[in-house]
Structure 1
């Protein structure tokens, strides 16, 4: 499975990564600690974050 970092993360290692299917997130410093997230919840979170820009 592919993981993506935010374009706002820059070159540092401190960021949250989102799994390609949007069903999980993880801390880039602890990649084995994966937190499952419902797709609908993740989709809503992304909408809220984009609206705040």
Structure 2
């Protein structure tokens, strides 16, 4: 099992008009071969995904 390799593909779609209008912040950055996740804001308002 030490010789196994895992490849992960990450695809980030452009923000849609609603997300842009709400000034939604992207929680993911891709730099070279690294994916950086930023913490979510814990103050969710009504209608946000939970």
- TM-score bracket, normalised by the shorter chain, equals under 0.3
Structure number with higher strand proportion = 1
| Superposition TM-score, scaled by structure 2 size | 0.21
Structure number with higher helix proportion = 1
Q: Which has the higher contact order (CA 8 A, sep 6+)?
A: 1
Which protein has the larger Cα radius of gyration, Structure 1 or Structure 2?
A: 2
